[in-house]
Amino acid sequence: MVKASPYVPARPTLGWAQLGSRTRPLSWHPFTAERVCWTELGRGALRLAARVLGLEGAEVLVPAYHHGVEVDALLAAGTSPAFYEVGARWAVDLDDLERRVSPRTRGILLTHFAGFPGPASQLRALADRYGLVLIEDCAQALLSSDGGVPLGTTGDASVFSLRTSLPVPHGGGLVFNGRRGYQLPALERPAPGATLRSILARLSHPRKLRSPARAGLVGDFRRRLGRRFGIARARGAPGSRPDEEPALGASPLMSRIARAHDLAGVAECRRRNFFHLLGALRGVAPPLVSELPPGVCPLFYPLWVADRDEALARLRAENVEAGEGWPAFHHRCDGIEFPEATRLRHHVIALPCHQDLGPAQVAHAARAALRAVRRDRTWRSRAAGG
């Protein structure tokens, strides 16, 4: 009998043990921040930050390499996003950014990609020089620090997304730094049905449950709840825009699941898995990042491939759920103006290295990635030779 390949999920999974385990105090930033507001989503935290900081009607400089939801959040807050170049290794082009500062500019958004620190201190100095507001986007950088400085403590404000790193149903965070106090509106909690629907969606995947029998039971339970309480309905009216959606807070269940984690262990496991992938792949596929600095909690391993879609298909065929990265520019951004960001979108995929993966899964992901890269090179070499 042929042994099945290990399954490598793209994100951390939620299990029964996490729902029922004891909670513990969270001693990591942003959980220990003096002024933190928990929101339903990270994009909601960014929209709230822009409004509280008074950026409505002003220009905010945003990385040309972006997901797109952060641009939508700034638009929903009434700002006018403009863009600056990000190099092929996630490096911010500081000269390009400074050239783009105009009389309309009032803010800068700095993204810490995959948990790796961006030039926060340099942008802090630039923002102070021009009288601008600096917002750190730490949606991919939960538990990361730049040496001994936690990411998200340098800007005037920082935003986090818990659900990118932890198996929570939702969760965003907004932290304000500095001495100035801000009046935050009271946020309603999300509807219990929406929270429960999100949790059941994480539990009902057979592979995430690691038991098809349990998956069937949970799937049946989810359908019954949907009929009883209407939790299968999506929140928001069809065609509603992001700026029409209410700003919501976080549910107690989000905090409950987060507090069931050993955050130091999460960071340690992610670093260990990243080192394994780096050692296995750096000789075949030139790494986007060649080292893992102290304090960095990597969200994923950025693998540079010649053909993104082909590599993703090969990995998924071997039970490895790699992420597609950020393949498209927001419609407000002219990609032709940013060739380096275009290269990132065409060639970088996200190989999982999260805390839910054991040594066998990480080793399988590394072998599958090696095969995908080598096959791609072989095919291209033969095609070039006719």
Domains of the chain: 19-176 (3.40.640.10), 192-234 (no CATH), 263-384 (3.90.1150.10)
Higher per-residue pLDDT: 251 or 312: 312
What is the predicted pLDDT for the residue at 30?
94
Nearest-angstrom CA–CA distance, 186 and 175? 15
Q: Is it the case that residue 165 has pLDDT exceeding 70? A: yes
Whole-prediction pTM: 0.87
Nearest-angstrom CA–CA distance, 319 and 303? 17
Backbone phi and psi for residue 225, each to the nearest 5 degrees, phi listed first: -65, -40
Q: Where are the beta strands (DSSP E) in the chain?
A: 36-39, 59-63, 80-84, 105-111, 133-138, 145-146, 149-150, 157-161, 172-176, 300-304, 348-352
Q: Is it the case that residue 54 has pLDDT exceeding 90? A: yes
Q: Which amino acid is at 241?
A: R
Q: Is it the case that residue 95 has pLDDT exceeding 90? A: yes
Higher per-residue pLDDT: 47 or 179: 47
The torsion angle over the Cα atoms of residues 305, 310, 314 and 319, rounded to 10 degrees, is 90
| Percent of residues, the chain, with pLDDT higher than 90 | 64
Look at the block and give the residue holding tokens 């490096």: 91
Cα(first)–Cα(last) distance of the chain, in Å?
Answer: 39
pLDDT in tens, 216-245: 555 555 555 455 545 444 443 333 344 545
